């Protein structure tokens, strides 16, 4: 079917506001990942969901960041009280099984915090 989709593609918000970013993985993919990529930088791991297991939240930079996933479907990344340093492209990826499988990336959400 279709690839990984993310929405919105662009989000501009004011400092202190909360934002929600959405990811729709490829159908049938049990694993879902969120990454952050600041301008000119590499990918920074945020959180990893694998089936019904407890998510690996070890990459979340602060308690302002949280993510949920409904079963093996949509995931939402929430950033509360946004700060200017949160400005980045947020990438979602999914894979068939575990982390050794090929990850397919969505187009990303470009977040700008003014």
Partner 1 sequence: QKEVEQNSGPLSVPEGAIASLNCTYSDRVSQSFFWYRQYSGKSPELIMSIYSNGDKEDGRFTAQLNKASQYVSLLIRDSQPSDSATYLCAVNVQAGTALIFGKGTTLSVSS
89 - beta bridge partners?
37, 110
Of residues 13-52, those binding partner 1 (CB under 8 A): 33, 35, 41-45, 48, 50
Please, are residues 36 and 88 in contact by the beta-carbon 8 Å criterion?
yes
Smallest gap from residue 88 Cβ to partner 1 (A): 13
Residue with token string 């990336």: 105
Please, are residues 44 and 85 in contact by the beta-carbon 8 Å criterion?
no
Q: Which is nearer to partner 1, 84 or 102 (CB)?
A: 102
Contact positions vs partner 1 (CB under 8 A): 33, 35, 41-45, 48, 50, 53, 56, 59, 91, 98-100, 102-108
């Amino acid at each position: 079917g279709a690839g990984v989709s993310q929405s919105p593609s662009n989000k501009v918000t004011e400092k202190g506001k909360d934002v929600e970013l959405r990811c729709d993985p490829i159908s049938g993919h049990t694993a879902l990942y969120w990454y952050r990529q600041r301008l000119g930088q590499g990918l920074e791991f945020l959180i990893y969901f694998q089936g019904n297991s407890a998510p690996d939240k070890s990459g979340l930079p602060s308690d302002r960041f949280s993510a949920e996933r409904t079963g093996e479907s949509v995931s939402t990344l929430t950033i509360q009280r946004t700060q200017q340093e949160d400005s980045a492209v947020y990438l979602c990826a999914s894979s068939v099984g575990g982390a050794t499988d090929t990850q397919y990336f969505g187009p990303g959400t470009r977040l700008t915090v003014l």
